[in-house]
Amino acid sequence: MIYNGSCHCGGVKFTVEGTIGQVIDCNCSMCRRRGGLLWFVPRSQFDLVSDQDDLSTYTFNKHTLEHHFCSTCGIAPYSEGEDPRGNPTAAVNVRCLEGVDLGTLKITPFDGESF
């Protein structure tokens, strides 16, 4: 399935392809504050439709993930990094996807605070 996603103002738009099997609810200092539910996909399944210049990027702790957010509205629709095997990955905030019923998702807690 192909999903369309965006920030609140629509300045950051993207598509992502795949089947949402589970999403991660991380308790790290960043995720706890922004309330995202993350779906990790290979970077090749993610396509940024809008201009890269509309994004700002934040890294923290080990600087392994680039947390992208809209420069206008501040919403963080996705992050980029590598999976444990070194493959490029995107962490999509499923709350930013159109047509996803959050109540049907399998949500898995992740202890990012201790990471």
Q: Which domains does the chain have, with CATH numbers?
A: 2-114 (2.170.150.70)
Which one, of 1, 2, 15, lies nearest residue 77 by Cα?
15
Residues 47-64 as b or e (16 or more Cβ within 10 Å = b): ebeeeeebbeeeeeeeee
pTM of the model: 0.91
Instruction: Read off the pLDDT of residues 30-81 as tens digits, 9 standing for 90 and up.
Output: 888 988 999 999 999 999 999 888 899 888 877 778 999 999 999 999 999 9
| Separation CA 87–CA 71 (nearest Å) | 27
Match 């965006």 to its residue by tokens: 6
